[in-house]
Amino acid sequence: MKVIRPIRADDLDALLRMARSAGAGFTSLPPERETLRGKIERSLQSFAEDVRRPGHQRYMFVLEETDTGTVGGCCAIEAACGLDEPFYNYHVGLTVHASRTLDVYSRVPTLYLSNDLTGASVLCSLYLSPDFRAEGVGHLLSKSRFLFIAGFRERFAEKVIAEMRGVSDDAGRSPFWEGLGRHFFSIEYDDAEHIVGQGNKACIAELMPKHPIYTVLLPAEAQAVMGKVHPHTAPALRLLEQEGFRYQGYIDIFDGGPAVEAPTGEIRSIRRARSLPVQIGEVTAGATPHLIANGRLADFRCALAPLMPQRDRLLLPAELAQALKLAPGDGARVVAL
């Protein structure tokens, strides 16, 4: 049985293995042991804190096969971005040039360096190992975070965003970086990624031009990937779109990948989730896939299983209840997949 749980200190080797296999563009999970150790420690501290409003917390989770203890995926939530240093994106706006005398009218997409997403909660560090990829598992890994947010709303902002990985080739070459970023830095894209992965995104962003950039001055290859996701990231984007996330014109300053966003209370799985008391018993035929989570913080557990929630109770098989650390009478949060 596959279950989502908070990351532990002894998950470091598994996290490093996943970071090394993730490939270029996965800046929130750099393949360096000490950096990852710091991320785990920050997560442990975040779960332990008494939180009244979102701050510098970062909650990290792993996907575990309970029968073997093997970890095959990870995901995280930043409680609020940009609280101690600027959180940069490019906003794709529009500049209009017109002259009635010359009979000229042109609309030019323009990049504006922006901090507009400051304070939002951020979905990040989503990765699923190839040997764990099966029907429904990606849904569990991605959407489990929404049940956690639903259970602890005071810990998160009123808006949730996700910065999606932009387009790069098999060699790690980013057309957007080649067309824009490298003109201001004499380093390769993977070196810029390394700096960002160490938590130094702002120090690079602040060296980027502050004035608007006309996209028509960029190479066609760079223009073509603005707001586009890496093919490996497309399934993750579709899952977020199912939840109500939308692209609103903000892109990453390095690879041009889109930032998608949604008001927290309007996210589908948060809006539709119900809290019901648990009853132990076998699920009858006709059950449909549901996400189910307990109501605990540091002992959070979430799984995907066929269920038939009733108006006043939730019937769970004993094995599933045990994996989720739920006893009869406990409250569980559940939502149809």
CA distance 205 to 253: 7
Could you tell me the two tokens for 92? Answer: 């794709």
Secondary structure letter of residue 282 according to DSSP: P
CA distance 203 to 64: 36
CA distances from 25 to 2, 122, 137, 231 (A): 27, 17, 22, 12
Could you tell me the two tokens for 276? Answer: 């019901």
**DSSP per residue over 147-208, as a string?**
HHHHHTGGGS-SEEEEE------TT---HHHHHTGGGT-SS-HHHHHHHHHTT-HHHHHTTS
Polymer length of the chain: 337
The count of C-alpha atoms lying within 13 angstroms of the C-alpha of 8, restricted to the half-sphere facing its C-beta, is 11
Strand partners, 281: none
In the chain, how long is the greatest CA-to-CA distance? 79
The three state secondary structure string of 210-278 is CCCEEHHHCCHHHHHCCCCCCHHHHHHHHHHHHCCCEEEEEECCCCCCEEEEEEHHHCHHHHHCEEEEE
CA distance 203 to 252: 15
Q: Say how many Å lie between the first and final Cα of the chain, rounded.
A: 17
CA distance 25 to 109: 25
Secondary structure letter of residue 300 according to DSSP: -
Q: Shortest CA distance to 260 belongs to which of 273, 243, 275? A: 243
Query: Would you please indicate which residues are annotated as catalytic (active-site) residues?
Result: 230
